[in-house]
Amino acid sequence: MNPLLDFASLPRFSEVLPEHVNPAIEQLIADARTAVSVVEKAESITWQTVVEPLQDATERLGRAWGAVAHLNAVISSPALRDAHNTALPKVTQFFTELGLNRALFERYKALSEDAASLSDEQRALLAHELKDFRLSGIELEGQARERFAAIQEELAETQSKFEDNVLDATNAWTHDVPVADLAGVPADVVATAQAKAKEAGLADGVARLTLQGPCYLPVMQYAESAALRELMYRAYATRASDEGEVRFDNGAAIAKIMALRAEEAKLLGFQNYAEVSLVPKMANSPQQVLDFIRDIARRARPFAERDLAELRAFAAAELGIANLASPDVAFASEKLRQQRFAFSDEEVRQYFPEDRVLAGLFRVVESIYSVRIVEGKASAWHPDVRFFEVLDGSGSRIGEFYFDLYARDSKRGGAWADSARDRRVRNGQLQTPVAYMTCNFPAPVGDKPALFTHDDVITLFHEFGHGLHLLLTEVGTLGISGFGHVEWDAVELPSQFMENYCWEWDVLSHMTQHVETCEPLPRALFDKMLAAKNFQAGLGTLRQMEFALFDMRLHADNIGADRAALLKLLGEVRAEVAVMQPPAYNRMPWSFGHIFGGGYAAGYYSYKWAEVLSADAYSRFEEEGVLSPVAGNAFRKEVLGRGGSRDAMTNFVAFRGRSPTVDALLRHNGMVSPQ
């Protein structure tokens, strides 16, 4: 009884073992190939004879493989990684074959021409699928066709290797120090580091530091020791690079990924991979994206220069740091923020215990979308995972989701949301969606609950926005429900939209409770947080634009991806955009998982473009009431509910009544010059 082959209900995550992976995947691929063969031979070309049988088979494979990939990301082990990496080429090969199947392409094309027999959703899916076929090399012949298929397999394997190297390099690094050397670091961070040292058999009074976020970030922000900050910064900035441990060096992986992408673009008839990447996005050309990035950078630069000048002056006068360097920035910024606004992240964190935060998050969602969220039980991959149901007004289930919120050694860094099962209506039967949302927050220590920084709260709201996109879809057609086939530069709209609620008093006042005194967040402290909201917004924006410009130029200019070429490009980008130059040893690209391991290649700009959309969308709530169910239900209907059934700009205009403008974003970020 292989749990990966059970699709009757929720995934049986707790029962999945590495030895289940390949037998299940091989069987599901074989089943899918049989379904493809039946569709190829179908005499009549209808939705029921072509699309539905193929969707039935590929959905089962997608759900099982999604579970495997998810488990490999959240409870990685050598055995599970081996099983995943053995199955990966098989899955990639199957979907590559599917994209190159001329008989299926012709059937989809013929079906799309019979518009009268199709619903709006069906027409939308077929349009997306035909575009995907063309991007999959369907029109290639002979050797070009074979080479394209090989490229897809090599890319999948190399991108997975890139991610493995970053995770392994992060986990391999530790540094043991006397507790006395951690002056300034929050007590719970020190306690966690001491517990790690004890697990390693070290003496009392010793702490073990790691590069995982819950340790690295507070050390950089609070540690009084400049030498320790430099040590940690260098280790983090050189992960998986030629400046770190050679066995994790991603240099070869990056070079191979970029060469394969350039070759793929050429085979498809594009000038560069950026043009390939933009086909399913809102932007029309790499130049349009570059213009957008440079325009935002130009608007932000005066504010960033002011931010940096203030920080340097403060560091020199108050901290004795005459020459502010990259390892000092987080520390000096936190000290300046404390002086200017008289509070610290650590002080605020005491007011955000996990259960109160979740209750506050759910209150927002329930208020604006007229739903109810209740905790339930389900098979999970780790004891820390929590499970919830989303119900409508009558108590019927809309969807379900998992929260996996704490960092651990076996878990990939960062935060993300994804689908375990998509919404679908088949023969009148509704399949409800299931999502999971993953973060890397500090776990509870001792008898204290998990405490979140305000940045953690923002991250949680962000990922839940993605989750709502999956859960509140009203589309019943696989492939365009949830965020299926939503333009990639619009996928971040629902997530960044949710971040706005983290700055509303009527929201935060209901989701805080001091861990010791049980008092809610004082209004005076909230006002300080609000005053500090746009602290160094200029610097933060330029940092985003630095990443976005590097990504787009890398893929649009066909840059050679050896070490020298990467560093040259990085230097050019920083000279154009950054107001502060990192040290020469900084190897940011070597761990830039978004573009070398994830799906943001030639698409990192999407975060900022989606901020434009989300800020403008939220401005309607500011006009009508931030918890307005009228505005909420309109957003649910026109944006969240639509999935890929129509284009994102049409969704936005239907909700907002006009095209988006950058004004709300600049206002929210405090980057509006006084008149």
Q: In what order do the strands lie in the sheet with 372-376?
A: 372-376, 386-391, 397-406, 434-441, 416-421
- Which residues are registered as beta bridge partners of 389? 374, 400
d(CA 194, CA 188): 10
Q: Is 490 exposed, middle or buried (0-12, 13-18, 19+ CB in 10 A)?
A: buried
User: Strand 372-376 and strand 386-391: pairing?
Assistant: antiparallel
d(CA 476, CA 497): 24
Q: Give 523's contacts (C-beta < 8 A, 6+ positions apart).
A: 505, 509
Distance (Å) of CA 198 to CA 213, 241, 430, 503 = 20, 30, 51, 40
With the CA atoms of 230, 234, 235 and 239 taken in that order, what torsion angle do they form, in degrees rounded to the nearest 10?
Answer: 160
- What is residue 374's three-state secondary structure? strand
CB-facing half-sphere around the CA of 113: CA atoms within 13 A = 7
> pLDDT tens digit string along 521-538?
999 999 999 999 999 999
Residue 505 neighbours by CB distance under 10 Å: 14
DSSP state of 337: H
Q: Give 394's contacts (C-beta < 8 A, 6+ positions apart).
A: none
d(CA 497, CA 416): 16
Residue found by looking up tokens 């339930």 in the block: 376
Report the sign of the C-alpha dihedral through residues 533, 535, 537, 542, in that order: negative
- What is residue 240's three-state secondary structure? coil
At 673 the pLDDT is 66
Residue 607 neighbours by CB distance under 10 Å: 18
- Looking at the predicted structure, is the pLDDT value of residue 123 above 60? yes
d(CA 604, CA 595): 7
d(CA 34, CA 94): 12
- Looking at the predicted structure, is the pLDDT value of residue 157 above 90? yes
> pLDDT tens digit string along 546-576?
999 999 999 999 887 889 999 999 999 999 9
Task: Tell me the one-letter amino acid at 556.
Answer: A
Task: Tell me the one-letter amino acid at 289.
Answer: V
DSSP for 209-236?
A: EESSHHHHHHHHHH---HHHHHHHHHHH
- Looking at the predicted structure, is the pLDDT value of residue 93 above 80? yes
- Which residues are registered as beta bridge partners of 406? 441
User: Strand 397-406 and strand 434-441: pairing?
Assistant: parallel
Residues of the chain with CATH 1.20.1050.40: 3-99+101-135
Q: Give 18's contacts (C-beta < 8 A, 6+ positions apart).
A: 77, 79, 80, 82, 83
Homologous superfamily of the 3-99+101-135 domain (CATH): Endopeptidase. Chain P; domain 1 (1.20.1050.40)
Task: Tell me the one-letter amino acid at 664.
Answer: A
DSSP for 30-90?
A: HHHHHHHHHHHH-SS--IIIIIHHHHHHHHHHHHHHHHHHHHHHHS--HHHHHHHHHHHHH
Task: Tell me the one-letter amino acid at 57.
Answer: A
d(CA 201, CA 172): 17
- Looking at the predicted structure, is the pLDDT value of residue 405 above 80? yes
Phi, psi of 245 (to 5 degrees): -70, 125
- Looking at the predicted structure, is the pLDDT value of residue 427 above 80? yes
Tell me the two tokens of residue 601.
Answer: 């290649």
- Looking at the predicted structure, is the pLDDT value of residue 509 above 60? yes
What value does the mean pLDDT of the chain take?
Answer: 95
> pLDDT tens digit string along 633-662?
999 999 999 999 999 999 999 999 999 988
DSSP state of 488: G
Nearest to 477 by CA among 36, 59, 26, 24: 59
d(CA 212, CA 232): 11
Nearest to 526 by CA among 502, 542, 549: 502
DSSP state of 590: G
- Looking at the predicted structure, is the pLDDT value of residue 131 above 90? yes
Contact 495, 465 (CB under 8 A): yes
Nearest to 462 by CA among 485, 434, 493, 441: 493
Active site residues: 463
d(CA 317, CA 528): 23
Stretch 301-314: mean pLDDT:
97
d(CA 561, CA 566): 6
DSSP state of 599: S
- Which residues are registered as beta bridge partners of 417? 437
Helical ranges in 450-580 per DSSP H: 454-471, 493-499, 505-508, 523-531, 537-556, 563-577
User: Strand 416-421 and strand 434-441: pairing?
Assistant: antiparallel
d(CA 301, CA 653): 30
pTM tops 0.75: yes
- Looking at the predicted structure, is the pLDDT value of residue 674 above 70? no
> pLDDT tens digit string along 447-498?
999 999 999 999 999 999 999 999 999 999 999 999 999 998 899 999 999 9
Q: Give 448's contacts (C-beta < 8 A, 6+ positions apart).
A: 188, 515
- Which residues are registered as beta bridge partners of 177? 207
At 197 the pLDDT is 97
Residues of the chain with CATH 1.10.1370.10: 251-343+536-604
Q: What percent of the chain has pLDDT over 70?
A: 100
Q: Give 590's contacts (C-beta < 8 A, 6+ positions apart).
A: 238, 239, 240, 241, 242, 249, 250, 251, 254
Number of H helices, E strands in the chain: 26, 9
d(CA 363, CA 631): 16
Which band of pLDDT confidence, cut at 50, 70 and 90, is reported for residue 675? very low
DSSP state of 318: H
Phi, psi of 105 (to 5 degrees): -55, -45
Q: What percent of the chain has pLDDT over 90?
A: 94
DSSP state of 411: S
Right CATH for 251-343+536-604 from 1.10.1370.10, 2.60.40.1120, 3.40.50.300, 1.10.10.60: 1.10.1370.10
Detail the DSSP E strand segments found in 179-318.
206-210
Residue found by looking up tokens 């392409």 in the block: 105
Nearest to 110 by CA among 34, 33, 40: 40
Report the sign of the C-alpha dihedral through residues 479, 481, 486, 491, in that order: negative
